[in-house]
């Protein structure tokens, strides 16, 4: 296996996974336990050594205070740390430990150290959250990291190898978040039309309902409150999740946990109470959560200017879409039976691998027979073997048959003269701006220059401003991302200083600020004072 494979990584709230494309198909790689999903759970010992995945979960009941879960919810949060055994771990450090484990597992499988990765992030992530994710990948040892949005990755995995011409609704319901995207696919081009969702809703909320149900029964039957004890709660959470998962395939199940710990000398034993949970009870108790999970679908369609009848395919992503009542309500609402051909909890990592192959790992097509190769070296070997006669030692261009003195010269020639023969060029994806971009006015409010929801393809906006004091010669253009009316409540991307404004009474100069977002994720900002032509500009990677 080539060492230059780019890994596709789904860094999930609950579970993470790695995939690569082999023979055109994205494949999940097994971790060292033989599983294709690695729980995003980290245990730190006193020395700061990290254990990631199943082994961290195994230690959780005994040492819950040394275990971190769902750190993705805190990515990019200023000042947030997890204090364990006297160490303060940042979300970036904890995520780096998860990524390092995934990378090590991939290395055992591939035999070589992978150095590049495509990591998926939720569509709603802000610049702080994506920057924290990139930093984590860098400290995990990846030299180069590309980020793509999770729903887009899912669509790519679904469309891989198919000639799709349809409108997809990607419904991603994971452990901590709900992400919905409407994506139009035509001629191998993926256009995100709208996104919506709920950052505060996921499978963990369903677990919580089951936990409360069992804890209430325990209190009623035994008179003991069990949710206040940390160890008992950790074990009950595991049991509640199992119960929930069982109910996706069974009509009823028993929460069989004979030992959840001890509270004031009493052994907490779920088998001593009524521990049967039926799907009917589960559905009744989670009806509100289910409704909250369906409402954003209508909002996403509205933003995309579509009706339910316009959706051709509903693509299920994320473990929580395995809950039958979610699938049923979704089908009822959209009127299309959700597609179940792909594994909902693996499709995001697979899509990241597809992206890696399509967009990053350039391929080379033989000019004679059209066969494709990962590396130019393999193409040249193939060309020399298959298409030149044995007696010749000539180093020929596989496209125009020009002859060179060395392989290096031949490679340089091909890159320069035959760029169209390279596959994997061009992104083929247009996304939408997920957070509004604007600037701060004198009163602190946010003046939006590019609205969220606009296509990244043609996102340009202009704002007109002036000075607020007489003879003011400089202004600061703060660049912010977010929906809050107060700029400081949003994420600051950077700022520019426009100087050299000719002294005039307040309100007279006209300062035009242009935001231009390109599909590589770069925001170009330019501020011009119209009278003098004084200009300042800058680029921000967002």
Binding site for Mg ion (CB under 5 A): 12, 174
Q: Does 181 bind ligand ATP (CB under 6 A)?
A: no
Encoded one letter per residue, x for contact with ligand ATP by CB under 6 A and - for no contact, window 188-207 reads --------------xxx---
* Binding-site partner at residue 275 among ligand ATP, Mg ion, none, CB < 5 to 8 Å by type: none
Residue 127 is inside which H or E element, if any?
helix 127-139
In the list 8, 174, 261, 398, the residue contacting ligand ATP (rule: CB under 6 A) is 174
Query: Residue 11 CB, nearest distance to ligand ATP (Å)?
Result: 8
294 or 379: whose CB is closer to ligand ATP? 294
Residues 222-261 that bind ligand ATP (CB under 6 A): 241, 244-245, 248
In the list 197, 319, 338, 509, the residue contacting ligand ATP (rule: CB under 6 A) is 319
Query: Residue 318 CB, nearest distance to Mg ion (Å)?
Result: 5
Residues 421-440 that bind ligand ATP (CB under 6 A): none
Q: Does 277 bind ligand ATP (CB under 6 A)?
A: no
Which residues, 6 or more positions from 249, have their beta carbon under 8 angstroms from its beta carbon? none
Q: Is 116 helix (H, G, I), strand (E, B) or coil?
A: strand
Span from 61-69, 316-324, 444-452, 477-485 in contact with ligand ATP (CB under 6 A):
316-324
177 or 313: whose CB is closer to ligand ATP? 177
Instruction: Say if residues 37 and 345 touch (Cβ distance below 8 Å).
Output: yes
* Binding-site partner at residue 323 among Mg ion, ligand ATP, none, CB < 5 to 8 Å by type: ligand ATP
| CB-side neighbour CA atoms (13 Å) of 201 | 19
Query: Residue 15 CB, nearest distance to ligand ATP (Å)?
Result: 4
* Binding-site partner at residue 437 among Mg ion, ligand ATP, none, CB < 5 to 8 Å by type: none
Q: How far apart are CA 352 and CA 157, in angstroms?
A: 8
Reference 13, options 97, 117, 103, 121; nearest CA is: 121
Reference 237, options 219, 255, 252, 222; nearest CA is: 255
Reference 134, options 99, 83, 90; nearest CA is: 99
In the list 92, 145, 177, 313, the residue contacting ligand ATP (rule: CB under 6 A) is 177
Q: Which tokens is 533 given?
A: 């032509």
Reference 142, options 273, 265, 4, 272; nearest CA is: 4
Q: How far apart are CA 255 and CA 73, in angstroms?
A: 28
Which residues, 6 or more positions from 171, have their beta carbon under 8 angstroms from its beta carbon? 180, 297, 314, 315, 316, 317, 321, 330, 338
Instruction: Using CB under 6 A, list all residues that contact ligand ATP.
Output: 12-15, 72, 174-177, 202-204, 241, 244-245, 248, 318-320, 322-323, 345
């Amino acid at each position: 296996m080539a060492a230059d494979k780019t890994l596709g990584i789904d860094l999930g709230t609950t579970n993470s996974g790695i995939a690569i494309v082999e023979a055109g198909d994205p494949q999940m790689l097994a971790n060292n336990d033989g599983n294709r999903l690695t729980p995003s759970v980290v245990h730190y010992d006193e020395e700061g050594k990290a254990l990631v995945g199943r082994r961290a979960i195994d230690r959780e009941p005994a040492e819950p205070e040394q275990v971190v879960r769902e750190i993705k919810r805190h990515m990019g949060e200023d000042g947030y740390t997890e204090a364990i055994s006297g160490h303060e771990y940042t979300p970036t450090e904890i995520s780096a430990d998860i990524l390092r484990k995934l990378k090590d597992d991939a290395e055992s499988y591939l035999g070589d150290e992978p150095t590049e990765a495509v990591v998926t992030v939720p569509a709603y992530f802000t610049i702080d959250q994506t920057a924290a994710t990139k930093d984590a990948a860098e400290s995990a040892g990846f030299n180069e990291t590309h980020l793509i949005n999770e729903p887009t990755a899912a669509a790519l995995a679904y469309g891989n190898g198919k000639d799709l011409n349809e409108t997809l609704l990607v419904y991603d319901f994971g452990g901590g978040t709900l992400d919905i995207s409407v994506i139009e696919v035509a001629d191998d081009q993926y256009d995100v039309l709208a996104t919506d969702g709920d950052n505060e809703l996921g499978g963990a909320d369903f677990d919580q309902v089951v936990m409360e149900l069992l804890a209430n029964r325990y209190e009623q039957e035994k008179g003991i409150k069990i949710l206040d004890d940390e160890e008992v709660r950790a074990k009950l959470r595991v049991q509640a999740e199992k119960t929930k998962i069982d109910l996706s395939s069974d009509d009823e199940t028993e929460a069989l946990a004979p030992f959840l710990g001890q509270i004031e000398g009493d052994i907490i034993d779920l088998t001593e109470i009524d521990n049967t949970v039926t799907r009917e009870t589960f559905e009744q108790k989670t009806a509100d959560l289910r409704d909250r999970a369906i409402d954003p679908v209508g909002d996403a369609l509205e933003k995309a200017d579509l009706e339910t009848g316009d959706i051709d395919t509903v693509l299920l992503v994320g473990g929580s879409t395995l809950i039958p009542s979610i699938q049923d309500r979704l089908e009822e609402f959209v009127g299309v039976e959700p597609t179940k051909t792909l594994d909902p909890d693996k499709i995001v990592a697979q899509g990241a691998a597809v992206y890696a192959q399509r967009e990053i790992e350039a391929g080379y097509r033989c000019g004679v027979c059209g066969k494709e190769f990962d590396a130019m070296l393999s193409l040249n070997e193939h060309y020399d073997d298959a298409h030149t006669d044995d007696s010749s030692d000539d180093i020929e261009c596989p496209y125009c048959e020009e002859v060179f003195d060395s392989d290096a010269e031949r490679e340089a020639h091909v890159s320069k003269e035959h760029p169209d023969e390279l596959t994997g060029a061009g992104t083929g994806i247009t996304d939408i701006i997920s957070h509004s971009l604007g600037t701060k006015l004198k009163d602190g409010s946010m003046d939006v220059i590019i609205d969220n929801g606009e296509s990244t393809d043609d996102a340009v906006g202009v704002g007109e401003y002036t000075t607020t004091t007489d003879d003011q010669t400089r202004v600061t253009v703060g660049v912010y991302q977010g929906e809050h009316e107060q700029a400081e409540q949003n994420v600051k991307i950077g700022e520019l200083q426009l100087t050299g404004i000719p002294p005039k009474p307040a309100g007279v100069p006209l300062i035009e600020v242009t935001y231009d977002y390109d599909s590589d994720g770069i925001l170009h900002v330019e501020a011009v004072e119209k009278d003098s032509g004084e200009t300042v500009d800058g680029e921000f990677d967002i």
